Amino acid sequence: MGDVSDAAIVSALRRQMTIATAKQAVAAGNLANVDTPGYRAREVDFSAALDRQLGSAEQLATNHASHLAGTVPTSTVRSQEARGLAARRDGNNVQLDHELLSMVEAAADFSAAQTVLAGKFRLIRYAINEGR
């Protein structure tokens, strides 16, 4: 099994936080349109968003030997129309309980990543302070 680098861990946590933020934004947009006739709820497809985050990165240009090479993610998380939600008579299919649950799940995902990231930085700070 290969070693997992600090950069890979931080990158994975960044991706998780980005997707969680997008899920909350989409759910908030759905909630804002709960009474809009004909509005169709949107959702973030986690696996498609993760595939886009993992698959598209642009190489950083280096023009000096001391510059660090790397990549910058170029994709953004996209939403799609939610499937499987029953529409009301006005054509709107936003379900309050579904959106609130989505927001809570996204907040939990973000919080988990934030907790791991904070622990990672505490370890780095400890290593720096103990080296003096």
Digit-coded pLDDT (tens) for 18-53: 999 999 999 999 999 999 999 999 999 766 666 665
Residue 116 belongs to domain spanning:
6-61+69-130
What the block records as the tokens of 97 is 């309980």
User: Is 1 within a domain?
Assistant: no
Report the number of distinct structural domains present in the chain: 1
Is the full-model pTM beyond 0.75? no
Helix 46-55 crosses helix 6-32 at what angle (to 10 degrees)?
A: 140
Q: Residue 123: inside a domain, yes or no?
A: yes
Encoding tokens for residue 93?
């299919």
pLDDT for 95-116, tens place per residue?
999 999 999 999 999 999 999 9
Which alpha helices (DSSP H) does the chain contain, by range? 6-32, 46-55, 96-130
